[in-house]
Each structure stands twice: as structure tokens, then as C-alpha cells.
Amino acid sequence: MELRQLEYLVAVAEEASFTRAAQRVRISQSGVSAQIRQLEHDLGAVLIDRSARTATLTEAGKAAVRYAREALAAAAAVRQAVGEVTGLLGGRLTVGMVTACTVTALFDALAAFHRAHPGVAITLLEDNSAALAARARSGAVDVALIGAAASPPADVASLPIACERLVAAVPRGHELSERKRLTLRDLAGSPLICMPEGAGIRAAFDQACAARGLELAVALEAGAPNTVADLAARGLGVAILSETTAAAHAGLLHPAVIEDAEIPALLTLIWKPPPAPAAAKFLAHCRRAFTPASPPASPR
């Protein structure tokens, strides 16, 4: 039995997929499968039910995963203790970020952290905000940059970065292009372009509509705010964006604040407390990178 086998078992259990687990631990799917089969052979029990499309734990697997997590935590504690004695920081830092992330302050923090701690291997994962929040809760990522509606998730620690109102952005010459403010009801009948479900901006928009008892249909979805803006600039609909993203396309789009969308879109760093040593050091770099002097970041 090897630590890497336990790591792969935990990854498959948390991702419910051999493919996603392989992406997470950065080896081939066949490699993950072979190592788990070897672990099952050593233990004399099937740990993963492979009969369905989703990989699920057997009863033996559920029992094994509990102790696998404890063993991995103990190994991390050993590395931390040795690192404290030697003054060196090692191990791995896994950072999650929203798909098509363009927040340069996050990249600055990653670069500064890497220069200060070259012995730490860095893994970056892209996903939507809801999926990243789930990964942070489970400990699959050490720190994640996500978008949220109104406030960060209550069950994790957080460092808010930006909080903005929602705007409706349209091309110059559109019938709404003379408006500086409008309401959700003003958008009824217009094709809307928005981020998909799982994104913070989409959550803020959906919750605002629900609060007003409105059902506004989203005609087009795109996973990146800049793509949403580009589609609107080409006349395909009204883009639902944060103020910062809309302002970045001021030459092509006219933004109007949605005054009754009172639930703001929030951009925040989240992590499961207490942070691991590498995560704590990275968060310190993030606090320095995300300063008032930095350009405003756009919620997702």
C-alpha cells in the first residue's frame, strides 16, 4: 500500500469519476485505475463500484477512504514538521479559479509565491464557481477564486475581493442604449446573454429575478464574461455583466445598472480552514496582490 494509491482513491471518491480524478492528480486515467486495482488486490476487497457511469464507493471503499484521508493528513503533517525545522516549504498547492480567469492579481500572487517557495508544486484547476466551492469544502483545492451572490459561502473561510452591481449591456444604437438605469422587468422580451448556472453572476441574476417573481429566459450562455460581452456587441442580445466587465467594453457596449437587482455579484477567495502551510503562505501573497492600488477584479 502506497500513499499515492490512497491519494488516487480519495480523488476518485471526491470526483466520482476516474477521468476527473486523473486530471486532478495529473496522471493518466489508466494509471489511476491500475493503482486502485492494485490497492484493491492488496486489501482483498473492491473499493470502487464501476458498474455505472459514475464511480461510487462500495461499503469497503467508504471505510477505506476515511482512513486514507487520515493517512494523507498525517503524511502532510510530517512534511510540515520537517519543513518547520529546515525552514523549507514543500509539498503541493492546488489553486482553483473560475474558467477563463483574467484576474491578473491572482497570477501575480502565484508568481510571487513560486519565487518565494520554489519547492512547492503548484496545480491550477479551472471550473465554475459552484464546483470550485464544493472542491474547497472537500479539501480538493487549497484556495479557490470564485464568484458568489451577495456573500461568500458560509461554510468556508473567505477573502472578498470585489463586490459589484449587475448591469445590462447593449450595443450602441440599441433601444436600451440611452438608459443609464433600468429594471429587470424592462428586460422582459429581450434575448439575454449570461454566464451559465454555477457562476456567481448567474446566481446573483437568478436570485434577483426570483425575488421579484420574474422568470426571464436566458437565450445564450457563455462560460467567460468577455465572451458574453462579445456576443452582445454583435447584436445577439442583452449581456448581464458586472460593472467592471461592462466598463472594459465601453467602446462597444452601453451599460445600464439594473436598479432592482439588489443582490450584488461577489468575487472572493475561499478555503477550508485551517489552511495548510503552503496555502497560508499563498494567501499572504494574495492579500498583498489584491490591494486597493490593484485594478478592480471582475466577479464571475
Angle at 195 between CA 189 and CA 201, to 5 degrees: 95
pLDDT band at 83 (very low <50, low <70, confident <90, very high): low
Q: For the chain, give every domain's residue range.
A: 1-88, 166-263
Please report how many Cα atoms fall inside a 13 Å half-sphere around the Cα of residue 26, on the Cβ side: 7
Q: Give the C-alpha distances (Å, rounded to integers) separating 205 from 111, 160, 184, 262.
A: 34, 19, 9, 9
Superfamily, domain 166-263: Periplasmic binding protein-like II (3.40.190.10)
For 203-229, what is each residue's pLDDT tens digit? 999 999 999 999 998 999 998 999 999
For 32-77, what is each residue's pLDDT tens digit? 999 999 999 999 999 999 988 889 999 999 999 999 988 888 887 7
pLDDT at 251: 86
What is d(CA 167, CA 110) in angstroms, rounded to the nearest whole number? 31
What is d(CA 260, CA 157) in angstroms, rounded to the nearest whole number? 29
CATH architecture of structural domain 1-88: Orthogonal Bundle (1.10)
What is d(CA 15, CA 124) in angstroms, rounded to the nearest whole number? 16
Give phi and psi for 146, each to the nearest 5. -130, 165
Q: Are 279 and 271 in contact (CB under 8 A)?
A: yes
Q: Is the entire prediction scored with pTM above 0.85?
A: no
For 243-282, what is each residue's pLDDT tens digit? 988 998 988 999 999 999 999 999 999 999 988 888 999 9
- How much of the chain exceeds pLDDT 70, in percent? 93
DSSP alpha helix (H) spans, 87-103: none
- How is residue 7 annotated by DSSP? H
